[in-house]
Structures are given as structure tokens and as C-alpha cells.
Chain A
């Protein structure tokens, strides 16, 4: 059973008087615990696809099922609850909360989203800090650590609520190659350690090679399925 299943999934934006077809009826399925990348140039629809999978945006056509839920029917509150329960996010710009320490940034979703008790939170954050190699930086603020370290913290935050799916939109775009590789390696390690499905996007050909499943996007269509990928109607 696929964790994510898209059938003729489409998204059209209205920009002024013009309709922009960001995603044009794509079909794909992603299995649990897989390490998946959407690749393609800017404007190819990678972010739009990730936003729809992450319940941040609604499809305008087709069907999208995540964890057996038709996410196109979720309203704002239900979508927030769904994200908080099942999905973690890693952003290109890290998007850590500047007033909180590394520890508190990882703890944040456990307080604001899931109301975990303090002791349980402490154990979880400590475990994740160790897992991403940031135990020594727990008390630092985001402006006191490097870009790679910020992204490690972001990965830990995405995993804090035991999310089964982590979506990462261009997680290495603001990092140098070495750091980018280390982040991808970290994500893979987390997948292995926690059994989490990782779906990320990139336009960097070197990084995409690290993925186990590749969906190549161009002009809103999956046009070049990888030999490893599993496009439903490829």
C-alpha cells in the first residue's frame, strides 16, 4: 500500500488574468520508508507538489491520498492537525525560530502542536539532538550556528513529533556541496533509524543521485521517471 498516491493530480494558479498550470495531471505513488526526490528546474512544479502532499496547498484537479486520507478535502484546521500528526517539514532557509535555542526549536512542535509532557519532551529532544549530532549546541541560538548545523536542527525538528513523512523543499540549496551531502546523508540515516519516509526536492543533479526514487519534473509533468522510481502511469 502506497503512503502517498497521486492520480491525475493538477494544480492551477490564477495570476492576474492568467491561469498558470503548475502541475498538469501527474500520477505517482510513494512507498513508506522510501527516500524520494523530485527534481527539475525552477518552475517545474516541485514545490507545488510538495506543498500539496504536505497539505499546505489544495489540488485543483485529480486525487491525492496521503496516509489513506484524501487531503484535498481537509479544511484549514484539519490540515494543520494532519500536518502536526503525520508530517515534518524541512525548509530551504531552515526557518528556525530565532528567539529559541536549538533545544527549544526541536521542542517547539512538541509544545505548540502536540502538548507532550515535559519529561517525554526532554527525552525526545535529547535523542534527536544526539541523532543529528547537535548535542553540544543545544543552548545556542540559530544565529550562533552554521547553515549546515541549522539544517540538522531543522531535520531534528521535523522528526520531533515522530512524523512518518518528512517533506524537504530544496533542503540543500543554501548549503555548500560538502554540507549538502552531509545533510542528505543525515536524512538517509534518520530514515534508517526512525523508519521515516523522506521526500525532498532539488535541482542539483549531484544531490539527486543520493535518492532511491527519483521523479523528474518539467513544466508540471513527470516526464523522466527514474528506473528506481515508481510512477503509477509512467
Chain B
């Protein structure tokens, strides 16, 4: 085998320019794909991080039907205290859960005493919310980012609302909300900060303290509209989601049957009272992520085509140009399988060479991009640092794909060479 390898290498060197051209094509293909995977992966991670760490958390638990009617923020689909407690008990037991935050979501009227508009409000426990969505304080563009996120009596409002209503940090505003029983209540708040708006759900919501939200809605018991959850390892999202769904499906709690809802607590699709949603279920950005993934697949297909066509072209030419040589080695008794192996090895070496070079160049460029700290803007978010990275699994998968394709592309020419009639081959001019 070593000798076949040696002869194959020399044959490739004999047609140096052609070998170089083909290897370059494969190298370019590999570089293109690995860079795309690395950069798009970084972009994806950053964007997903923005959604999960500043807005949604990785997972959310809702009462069944709440997400389906989330546009109206239905208070009658809040989770009662017993249900919240049961969920929290489950979350405490799960090592994969880093933090969680129970929220009350309210549709309210916002007034600056001269004008009134509508606003969506999240009532949150500041400490728990900061632990669950650690990038939330970073969205404060005006006002202090120091200290607790909120104190009772304070409100964070989105930029667009602040601009439209000409409200500044320190101003007093009024929130008016209707509770589940239909009674209206109002409460004054001091604007603590102005949040940059973000695309997606909850991106233009205001924030008040959880106790203020309960007071505004005259809640007698600590209900919650949703529980946002932060995971220790976001890569385990689907696994933890399934585990949580499983855990919650086995729960039945007092109070769960209020408001005409089923008494048992169960996972999404389980027919129970609770649903577990991943960030991807809740954010339209998930479609963009899928599009990026699809694009990556198309780029891989293109690369594979490049490899297939270029290697096949080279190997067809190699066989054609060496017909007499094939006739000679066949005449002296070289078994057809060794002739096949020789040409397959040449194709394989082309693929391996191009792949090795392409991988090295890609890793060098990715390293350089990480050193140079390329930044970009996304929506209102400025100066996001691109950190392209490619996993060993991706590198191995792509490299293996190229090498296998190079081998497959050589198969037909190699087969043809091994089946060549020696007399015809020797007579070839």
C-alpha cells in the first residue's frame, strides 16, 4: 500500500499544475464552507444569546393556552401560586437549571399626565430576572445600570415609548391596568431607566417590580404569567426541555384546576395544564436560524459538487493521458484491483491534500478574525463582536465529506482504468 501511495504521489507531482489547480479548488471550497460555518455560527450564537440572555431565557413555562393567546396577555391563564410553587420545586431539583424568574405580564395604559398610550409590562423580581436574563441591564441606554435592576415604585420603559411620550429618566408616570375581575387600578412610577428596543417578543416591553405588578392587578395571591428559565449549558436545551416537560407532566397541584383549566399539570402536547417552550418556539429569530442552517447545507452541497466535478475531471484526464501506461502495467500482470487502488489513491490524495490545506487556512483565518475582533451592528445593538468558531465535529464532518467525495469521484475513472483491455491500451496513440 505504501508503494502504491508513493507511485500515486509521484503521478500527482508529474501533472503538477493540474494537481495544484484541483487542490486549490478543493481548498477554496473547504475554506468557504468552514468560514461560513464559523461566521454564521458566531452570528447565530450572538443573536441567540441576545434573545435568551436579554429577553426570553432559554426556556419558559406557561399555563396551557397562554402562549396561543399571548397577544392579549390573558390574566385568567396565569399560573396560580400552588402551580408556581410546584414548578419551582421541580426546577430546584434540576442541576441543569441555573436560574429562573417568575413574571407577571400585563397589558396596561401608560400616561405621562398629558398623553396616554398602551404598554406591555413585565412584573419581575429584579434579582431573579437579572440572574435569568443577565444581559437585560445592558439594554439600559439611559439611567443607572448599577445596583438592583428595579426597586418598588420604579419602571424601565422602552426607548420608542420614551421618545414618543417625551419621558425622561426620573419622570413620574402612571400605569393603569384592568385586573382579571374587570376592576381598573392605577399606580404611579418613577422612570428608572430607558431600555433599548429589541426585535422579537418582549423586545418593547417595560419592566416593573413583581410586587408592584401584583399591587396594580390587586392580586391576592402570588400568581405568575410565565417562568423564564436559564440553563447552565444552552447546548442541552432540547434535552432539558424534554426532561422538564416530563417532570411537569407528572405533577398535579392544588389550584391547578381553577378557571376551568384541567387539574393536572403536563407538558406541551401532553394534554395537561402546563407547557414548556424553548426560546426557538417563542422567537421568530428561530426561522432565521433555520434559514442560516439551510444556507449552510446548500453551501456544503456546492462544495461537494466542486470537489466531485474537479476531481472527476482530473482523474478522467489522468486515465485518458496514461492509457498506454495503464496498458503496460496491465500487460506485465498488475492485477486489476491494484490498478484500481492506484487511481483511487491518486483521487484520495487530491482530496486529502486540498482538505488539509483548506482546513489549515480556515483555522488560521478564524484565529485571525478572533484576534482582530471584528464588530458589527444588529438593529439597535452596536459593536457586537464576532467570535467565529468551528467545532472539531464540523471540521471532521466537512473534511470527511470532501475526502469521501474525492474518492467517489475517482471511482469511475479508476474502474475504467482497471478494466482497460491491455492490447487496446498499448495501441493507444
Contact mask for chain A residues 77-110; partner B; CB cutoff 8 A; 1 contact, 0 none: 1001111110111010101011110000000110
B233 in the interface (beta carbon within 8 A): no
State whether B332 touches A97 (Cβ < 8 A).
no
Partner of A109, one of B14, B333, B336, B422: B333
When the two chains form their complex, are residues A84 and B423 in contact, meaning their CB atoms are under 8 A apart? Answer: no
Q: When the two chains form their complex, are residues B328 and A84 in contact, meaning their CB atoms are under 8 A apart?
A: no
Which residues of the other chain, A, contact B338 by a CB distance below 8 angstroms?
112
Residues of A within 8 A of B4 (CB): 112
Comparing A49-57, A126-134, A210-218, the segment that makes contact with chain B is: A49-57
Size of the chain B interface, CB-CB below 8 angstroms: 24
A98 to chain B: closest CB distance in Å? 7
Given A95-B325, A97-B328, A98-B14, are A57 and B423 also a contact pair (CB < 8 Å)? yes
B412 to chain A, nearest CB (A): 18
**What are 7 A-B contacts with C-beta separation under 8 Å?**
A80-B335, A83-B331, A83-B332, A83-B333, A97-B325, A109-B334, A161-B333
Minimum distance in angstroms from B323 CB to a CB of chain A? 12
Q: With an 8 A cutoff between CB atoms, is A228 at the interface? A: no
Other than the known A76-B336, A77-B335, A80-B334, what 10 A-B pairs have Cβ atoms closer than 8 Å?
A57-B423, A87-B333, A89-B332, A95-B327, A95-B328, A100-B7, A108-B329, A112-B329, A112-B334, A112-B338
Distance of B8 from chain A, by nearest CB (Å): 10
Q: List which B378-429 residues lie within 8 A (CB) of chain A.
A: 419, 422-423, 426
Cα-based distance from A99 to B7 in the complex (angstroms): 8
Contact across chains for B335 and A81 when beta carbons are under 8 A apart:
yes
Q: Are B332 and A88 in contact (CB under 8 A)?
A: yes
Tell whether, in the assembled complex, residue A54 and residue B331 are in contact, meaning their CB atoms are under 8 Å apart: yes
Residues of A close to B14: CB separation below 8 A: 98-99
- Assembled-state Cα–Cα distance A16/B333 (Å): 30
Cβ-defined contact, A81 with B329, below 8 A: no
Q: Which residues of B contact A85 (CB under 8 A)?
A: 333
Is A97 a contact partner of B333 (Cβ separation < 8 A)? no
Measured CB to CB, the closest approach of chain A to B23, in angstroms, equals: 18
Residue A188 is within 8 A (CB to CB) of chain B in the complex: no
Contact of A111 with B by CB under 8 A: yes
Closest 10 pairs between A and B when the two form their complex, measured CB to CB? A84-B333, A99-B10, A83-B333, A95-B328, A113-B333, A111-B3, A112-B334, A56-B422, A99-B14, A56-B423
Residue of A nearest to B341 (CB): A112
CB distance from B417 to the nearest CB of A (A): 13
Which residues of chain B are near A51, meaning CB under 8 Å? Answer: 423
- Quote the shortest CB–CB distance from B79 to chain A (angstroms): 76
Q: Which of B87-146 contact A (CB under 8 A)?
A: none
A158 to B338, CA, bound (A): 19
Tell me if B184 is interfacial: C-beta within 8 Å of chain A.
no
Give complex CA distance A93, B428 in Å.
12
Measured between beta carbons, the chain B residues less than 8 angstroms from A81 are: 333, 335
Contact A95 B324 (CB under 8 A): yes
Residue contact B334 to A84, C-beta cutoff 8 Å? yes
A134–B336 alpha-carbon span in the complex (Å): 30
Q: Is A157 an interface residue (CB 8 A)?
A: yes
Please, what's the 1-or-0 string for A57-88, where 1 marks a CB less than 8 Å from any CB in chain B? 10000000000000000001100111111011
Q: How far is the CB of A151 from chain B (nearest CB, A)?
A: 14
Nearest-neighbor residue (CB-CB) of A52 within chain B: B423
Query: Please, which residues of chain A bring their CB within 8 A of the CB of B329?
Result: 97, 108, 112
Does the CB pair B423–A157 fall under 8 Å? no
A199–chain B nearest beta-carbon distance, Å: 15
A80, A97, A113 pick with most chain B CB within 10 angstroms: A80
| Central interface residue in B11, B327, B423, by most chain A CB within 10 Å | B423
- Which residues of the other chain, A, contact B423 by a CB distance below 8 angstroms? 51, 56-57
Interface set, chain B 314-328, CB cutoff 8 A to A: 324-325, 327-328
Alpha-carbon separation in the docked complex, A77 to B333 (Å)? 9
Give the Cβ gap from A154 to chain B, nearest Cβ, in Å: 10
Q: Is B160 an interface residue (CB 8 A)?
A: no
- Using A57-B423, A97-B325, A111-B3 as known contacts, say yes or no to A80 and B10 having CB atoms under 8 A apart: no
Q: Closest approach, in angstroms, between the C-beta of A39 and any C-beta of chain B?
A: 21
A54 CA / B328 CA spacing, docked (Å)? 12
Chain A residues near B7 (CB-CB < 8 A):
97, 99-100
Within residues 1 to 32 of chain B, which ones have a CB less than 8 A from any CB in chain A? 3-4, 7, 10-11, 13-14
Determine the chain A residues whose CB is within 8 A of the CB of B11 once the complex forms. Answer: 99
- A84 near B335: Cβ-Cβ < 8 Å: yes
Give CA–CA (A161, B331) in the complex, Å: 13
Q: CA separation between A91 and B329, bound complex, in Å? A: 12
Tell me the minimal C-beta distance from B428 to chain A in angstroms.
11
| B211 to A: closest C-beta gap in Å | 84
**CA A144 – CA B249 in complex, angstroms?**
82
**Interface: B241 (CB within 8 A):** no
Query: Which chain A residues lie closer than 8 Å to B426 at the CB level?
Result: 56, 91, 95
Chain B residues lying within 8 Å of A111, measured Cβ to Cβ, are: 3
Contact partners of A100 in chain B: CB under 8 A: 7, 10
Task: Please state if A77 and B336 are interface contacts (CB–CB under 8 Å).
Answer: yes
